[in-house]
Amino acid sequence: MKKVVVAGAGGFIGGHLTRALVEAGHHVRAVDIKPLTKWYQRIPGVDNLVLDLRDKENCSRALNGYEEVFNLAADMGGMGFIETHKADCMISVLINTHLLLAARDVGIRRYFYASSACVYNGEKQADPNNPGLKESDAYPALPEDGYGWEKLFSERMCRHFREDFGLVTRTARFHNVYGPFGTYAGGREKAPAAICRKLIEGELYGKKDIVIWGDGNQTRSFMFIDDCIKGVMDIMDSDIEEPVNLGSSEMVSINQLVDYVEEIAGFTLNRQYDADAPKGVRGRNSDNTFIVKCLGWEPSIPLKAGLVKTYNWIRGEMLDSREKDPRKAVFNKP
């Protein structure tokens, strides 16, 4: 049994990771800035702390007496959020900086940092037929403005704390994680959850149209949460010192993603396209050559299989909220 801190444990990925660590027999301290009532999951037997980890003293309090840290804490969301909250996203650099300092000072053994595919050079993502981004494609640097720059800088911080202070650091670049217990409304949701919600609104409230940002031909890969959690835990325990892709290599267009969800729902909506909406790069996919070489594994849960579980969970949440307040078309819990 290890004593582990999960920073950002009140969020989507953090909640799933906390559960997996507890089920693996570890003693977990879960930390998040949100009030406990707003956490996506609260796991029995966990030491929960509500702290603002942008403050160094809070980081020291959170880490003292523990052995390992998983840093998933960040102010972020889908493309609609990160393109309109660039300063907020960059302020998250304080979290990683102060957690690293606290980790060094209290004797943390291993430190995991959750980075993002948004660190990759934008010029290498201009073609929807993206062959897959290799880890080396982050340089020369031209990441997503705001959020991507913060992630890339924080990756370098982890590297230099390893080199200068001997802190064992591991970094994974997440590619579009989705699944149950995630945000599906309110402005921070990502494409799979947003599209599921819009189809369910069509079923429950008679909406006939779906608005797709851009022309729908932009491409992405989407990783189901179970693959993400396995990858995080395996990378933490590995000897991989450089940032590594953690994502599915199953690339689809946004139009194809809508096709898949419509197939699950059993009906279609009229597609309207918003050319002025935030839409990000034209093509992004994960090249998994490096992670397969290092771990003999890569994320492999098919997108359609993961979407069925995600759709059913969101539908259950929306049905539950409609029963509680029929006037509300959407109520995103928590």
DSSP 55: S
Residue 30: both structure tokens together: 């879960």
In this structure, are residues 42 and 19 in contact, taking their beta carbons and an 8 Å threshold? no
Distance CA 52, CA 32 (A): 7
Helices (H), the chain: 12-23, 56-63, 79-82, 86-91, 93-106, 147-165, 191-205, 225-236, 254-265, 289-295, 303-324
Identify the DSSP state of 216.
Answer: S
Q: Catalytic site residue 273? A: no
Structure tokens at 218: 């932009």
The DSSP bridge partners found for residue 49 are 31
Phi/psi for 141 (5° steps) reads -70, 125
* Total number of residues shown for the chain: 334
Among the options 40, 111, 120, 147, which is catalytic?
A: 147
Tokens of 8: 């950002």
The distance from CA 209 to its chain's CA centroid, rounded to whole angstroms, is 28
The closest alpha carbon to 11, from 234, 174, 245, belongs to 174
Distance CA(314)–CA(81), nearest Å, equals: 20
Q: What is the spatial distance between Cα 224 and Cα 204, in angstroms, rounded to a whole number?
A: 26
Separation of alpha carbons 161 and 108, rounded Å = 12
Cβ 246 vs Cβ 238: under 8 Å: no
**Catalytic residues, which ones?**
147
